[in-house]
Amino acid sequence: MGQIDLVDISKSYDKQKNVLDEINLSIEEGEFFVLVGPSGSGKSTLLRMIAGLEDITSGTLKISNEVVNHLPPKDRNLSMVFQNYALYPHLSVEQNILFGLNAKKVDKEEQQKRLIETAEMMGLSELLKRKPKELSGGQRQRVALARSVVSEAPLCLMDEPLSNLDAKLRGQMRMEIRRLQKRLGMTMVYVTHDQVEAMTMGDRIMVLNDGKIQQVGKPITLYNEPANLFVASFIGSPKMNMGKAVFHADRNQLVIDDALHLEIDPVINNVPRYPNVTIGIRAEHLYPGTAENTTHVVEVINVEQLGNETLLAFEVGAEVWTAKWPGQWDVQVGEKVPVHIAIENLCFFDSDTGLLIKPARAGKQQEVVTA
């Protein structure tokens, strides 16, 4: 059993369509577990049900092997960090941090001991007498985190805590939260709609869509072996390139969106013979073509220079694909460039069910020579 066990958990309002539909999940002690999905997928509702802020329509919720369905939040031995910080504007940083301990009537000496340790850990020692309005967004977020840490609850729930911060600060806070979780050994359940946050922070990720679990696993597993088309398109930045594919046995060719023709060696390439197939390929697996290995020449319709890498966009039928090449490439819009597309780097999905048929070859990316 995990520290949190959800058994057939469902949630509906007014007995209408389920917002969450029979969620079965175990979250282990000391794990950084991320719930990710688009807006409206049910991830915040699930977190609030664990916290006791939402009623459970059906199913069983256990924390540390104890059924807690009807326990109020204060009796669940957990802390929560909200998206909007939820700080009291009339209280100082110190008073905000200690608010929960005061409510629990923790000894004053113990409160001060925890306050000093936590403020030092969070870099707030010089700010204890300030009010929230005198703090930056990042400092306010650290106060909300400190309030959670000082409670010493073994379980911490976070609901999109970084979404109000700018990109640079988000990157910094991601690292701080991860380090803090490892240092304290707490179990953390973290909700986000940002798949980059999910990939960089989680020990495991659960992808939710329309109230149903799409896949649970390690970040790299979800990236390399997405269970279905939704996970494939949601996890990864830029998203996986996709297209409808038809296998022509007579020509030993795979034709993608009536535009790309890939030659197949039937001895080497084990291509699924499904009648209705969708293929996917990651942007970094669309390699620059060389004199020896060019398979296609494509016309570039957009170029993004990111300094450490270059993103090139081109059309495949009605779809726009993106190639991600390391380094800086002097390529202009309208230019035709050679690319190398290998069959073994394609994921195959059943177009009817959306389920993965065959993942791309796992392994090291081939070396490429930058221009």
Q: What is the pLDDT along the chain (371 residues), one digit of tens a residue?
A: 458 999 999 999 877 778 999 999 999 999 999 999 998 899 999 999 999 999 999 999 999 999 999 999 988 989 988 877 788 999 999 999 999 888 888 888 888 998 998 888 888 899 999 999 999 888 888 898 888 888 888 999 999 888 877 788 788 888 888 988 888 889 999 999 888 899 999 999 999 999 999 999 999 999 999 999 999 999 988 999 999 999 887 888 889 998 899 888 776 667 777 778 999 999 999 999 998 899 999 999 999 999 999 999 999 989 999 999 999 999 999 999 999 999 999 999 999 999 999 999 854 444 443 33
Q: Which residue has the tokens 């403020």?
A: 119
96 lies in the same domain as 146? yes
94 lies in the same domain as 189? yes
Q: Is residue 364 part of a domain?
A: no
53 lies in the same domain as 200? yes
265 lies in the same domain as 182? no
First-last CA distance in the chain: 53
Q: Is residue 305 part of a domain?
A: yes
Position 321: which residue type?
W
- How big is the CA angle at 319 (ends 315 and 321), to the nearest 5 degrees? 60
Whole-number pLDDT of residue 369: 39
DSSP for 270-282, please give it.
Answer: -----SSEEEEE-
210 lies in the same domain as 251? no
Total structural domains within the chain = 2
From 197, 229, 261, give the residue that closes a domain. Answer: 229
Q: Which residue has the tokens 């494509």?
A: 298
Q: Is residue 89 part of a domain?
A: yes
- The dihedral built from the CA positions of residue 157, 160, 162 and 164, taken in this order, carries a sign that is negative
Whole-number pLDDT of residue 364: 43
- How big is the CA angle at 199 (ends 197 and 200), to the nearest 5 degrees? 65
Q: Is residue 175 part of a domain?
A: yes
96 lies in the same domain as 75? yes
Q: Give φ, ψ of 314 to 5 degrees.
A: -150, 160
Report the distance separating Cα 324 and Cα 306, nearest Å: 10
Q: Is residue 326 within 8 Å of 308, Cβ to Cβ?
A: yes
338 lies in the same domain as 280? yes
From the number of C-beta atoms within 10 Å of its C-beta (0-12, 13-18, 19+), residue 176 rates as middle
Whole-number pLDDT of residue 363: 45
40 lies in the same domain as 186? yes
Chain centre distance of CA 355: 20
112 lies in the same domain as 253? no
Range of the domain at 335: 238-358
126 lies in the same domain as 270? no
Report the distance separating Cα 298 and Cα 334, nearest Å: 9
From 229, 264, 298, give the residue that closes a domain. Answer: 229
Q: Is residue 74 part of a domain?
A: yes
64 lies in the same domain as 201? yes
Q: Is residue 309 part of a domain?
A: yes
What CATH number has the domain bearing residue 171?
A: 3.40.50.300
Report the distance separating Cα 17 and Cα 23, nearest Å: 15
Half-sphere exposure of 289 (CA within 13 A, CB side): 15
Whole-number pLDDT of residue 85: 77
Q: Is residue 141 part of a domain?
A: yes
